[in-house]
Amino acid sequence: MIEQLQKKLTLLLSSVSIFLLLFLLVFLFFFNRNSLYRTMRNALSSAVTKPMDRSTSDSYPIYQIFMKENGEILEHSGEDFFLESDTEEKAVQDALSRIKEGKESFYGSMQGGKLQYYCKKDAPPDGKTAYRIALTDFSKEIGNIRQLSIVLFILFFALSFVIIVLSRFFVRKTVAPVKDAMLSQRQFISDASHELKTPLTVIINNVGNLQKKIENVPALQGEDVENIRENIRGIEEMGGRMKHLTESLLDLSRLESWQDRGSQLENVALSTLIEHECMYFEPLFFEKGKSLDYTVEKGLHTLGDENKLKELLSILLENALKYSLPPTATVLSLKKKRNILLLSVSNAVEKELSKEEKENLFKRFFRRDEAHSGGDGYGLGLSIAKEIVLMHKGTIKVESEKGQICFHVALSEKL
């Protein structure tokens, strides 16, 4: 339980931290990228507002073209060292295709973004429509943007690894007091159960002896004998229930504190085990006017503890025996799906489980209202069942619909 809590907290803390890191790095990337584009575009837009023969930018080499609406070049000037022989013609053709779309001013790019230009409608002295194009070399900045993306990508994975390691460390430090408290609680429950078990056994045995000897007391006759017998039966019943409670608590404590579970598991013939348990429970269902139908796929094995698996099955069948409605049938099935063994136990109930009851059903001491709980038991059976399933690295869940309640258990197959 503590290990699961540590994993969940580590996952949560790591996920939130990595998400924030990703957001920060993406923000830095686009901030720098947009800053470069903004500076370049400001230089281009500023160039077309000044005379053709003037130096227009200290940061970018700018080459300008003054052309007619039909693409005829009237004038060109500026730094052209970054231009290839046909670049000027391609830039004019690219701009004309955009002009035909009805745009009067726009930014464009060529050669994969390495060449950027800005085109704006202009009016020459003769009054005819003309356009000015300002081009610049943006290849260096494109290279810088790519290098920045690679650096940030590597930085993301490096920092993510650091975040995961630190999250595990701090979660362990944070959970340590909780872990110590839970271990102390388990130890207390275990010790208390041990201490109570012995005197309860003595009380039950003494009550049995008292019942045998009371018949030999001449002074006790008639109504006095019946009253004493009734009191003794009450003591015996409560003592038995208290003994069952202490044994259940002790069993639950052992299951929860079982640290090295995997090394103590062995190959179990699950199909055979379930068939034997079902044959044992069939007469018990019959006595209460109910029935047990079971379908078990042959030859299925799992890695587990045979006694604990028997206890798991007994808990589920006893639960069905207790809550199912006569003369309905409880249906048990065991089948294989891929490498998973699926065990299900379903029975008809008077009242379906609510959402809150399904969430709390496997918690200690949880019981439904007295009208649907049978009025006895301590609400530990399903808690023990859950711990047995977790001990076998499996899952257990409950569904309740259409007047039925069904427990689903999934265990790994022993190959």
Same domain, 199 and 302: no
Write down which residue in 72, 104, 137 finishes a domain: 137
Same domain, 270 and 398: yes
More confident residue, 372 or 59: 59
Same domain, 327 and 405: yes
Domain count, the chain: 3
Same domain, 304 and 396: yes
| CA-based R_g, the chain, Å | 41
Same domain, 94 and 111: yes
Res 185: pLDDT: 66
Q: Which residues constitute the domain of residue 78?
A: 61-137
Q: Is the pLDDT of residue 125 over 70?
A: no
Q: What is the CATH number of the domain that holds 317?
A: 3.30.565.10
Same domain, 279 and 404: yes
Same domain, 249 and 268: no
Q: Is the pLDDT of residue 371 over 50?
A: no
261-305: pLDDT as tens digits:
444 678 999 999 999 999 999 999 999 999 999 999 999 999 998
Q: What is the CATH number of the domain that holds 195?
A: 1.10.287
Domain-located, residue 16 = no
- Of the chain, the percentage scoring pLDDT greater than 70 comes to 83
Kind plus residue range of the DSSP H or E element containing 400: strand 395-401
Same domain, 82 and 193: no
How many CB atoms lie under 10 A from the CB of residue 117?
A: 23
212-232: pLDDT as tens digits:
776 666 665 566 667 777 777
Same domain, 201 and 323: no
Domain-located, residue 108 = yes
What is the C-alpha to C-alpha distance for residues 207 and 245, in angstroms, rounded to an integer? 19
59-116: pLDDT as tens digits:
888 899 888 888 888 888 888 888 887 888 899 999 998 888 888 899 999 988 899 9
Mean pLDDT on 311-318: 93
Same domain, 273 and 251: no
Domain-located, residue 274 = yes
Contacts by residues 66-73 (CB-CB < 8 Å, ≥ 24 positions apart): 66/122, 66/124, 66/130, 66/131, 66/132, 67/92, 67/130, 67/131, 67/133, 68/128, 68/129, 68/130, 68/131, 69/99, 69/128, 69/129, 69/130, 69/131, 71/96
Q: What is the CATH number of the domain that holds 100?
A: 3.30.450.30
Domain-located, residue 360 = yes
244-260: pLDDT as tens digits:
777 767 776 666 665 44
Write down which residue in 204, 238, 256 finishes a domain: 256
Domain-located, residue 289 = yes
Write down which residue in 224, 256, 288 finishes a domain: 256
Mean pLDDT on 191-203: 69
What is the C-alpha to C-alpha distance for residues 192 and 195, in angstroms, rounded to an integer? 5
Res 316: pLDDT: 95
Same domain, 280 and 406: yes
